[in-house]
């Protein structure tokens, strides 16, 4: 009886470790986390920037952090630093495409990019702000 109990406990413990292993499946809240990082708000942007700086903490989620920044558009047109905004846009596009829900989220991702660009422009004034807003 003792051997059977020990065998059952050992088997059960192994099963629990395997089920909890992030390599087997992304956490169930992955869609919520993805959504929280791809909204138009400054807090969403800031949360994504913090997560991007600590990608290892999110490795269980299997996010695609790759980016080509602003693709064929300049990353810093006229000196305006749009590179991080473009990286977040790429993050949203790549991860929603992988999830198979890109078409339902595309408009919001594009709106978030525009909001991010406008936040960059908010740091300027006068003619520079006008030029930045026009570029955004």
Q: What are the catalytic residues?
A: 89
Instruction: Label residue 79 left, alpha or beta by phi (over 0 means left) and psi (-120 to 50 means alpha).
Output: left
Name the nearest CA neighbour of 52 among 3, 115, 94, 10.
94
> Do residues 34 and 99 make contact, with C-beta atoms less than 8 angstroms apart?
yes
Q: Give the phi and the psi of residue 98 in degrees, each rounded to 5.
A: -65, -30
Roughly how many angstroms between the first and final C-alpha of the chain, as a whole number? 72
> Do residues 34 and 97 make contact, with C-beta atoms less than 8 angstroms apart?
no
Residues with Cβ within 8 Å of residue 124, at least 6 apart in sequence = 80, 132
């Amino acid at each position: 009886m003792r051997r059977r109990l020990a065998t059952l406990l050992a088997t059960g413990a192994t099963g629990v470790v395997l089920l909890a292993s992030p390599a087997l499946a992304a956490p169930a809240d992955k869609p919520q986390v993805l959504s929280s990082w791809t909204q138009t708000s400054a807090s969403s942007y800031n949360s994504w920037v913090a997560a991007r700086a600590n990608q290892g903490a999110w490795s269980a989620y299997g996010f695609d952090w790759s980016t080509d920044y602003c693709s064929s558009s300049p990353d810093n047109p006229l000196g305006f630093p749009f590179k991080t905004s473009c990286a977040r846009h790429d993050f949203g596009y790549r991860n929603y495409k992988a999830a198979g829900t890109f078409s339902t989220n595309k408009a919001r991702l594009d709106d978030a990019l525009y909001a991010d660009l406008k936040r960059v422009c908010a740091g300027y004034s006068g003619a520079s702000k006008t030029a930045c807003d026009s570029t955004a």
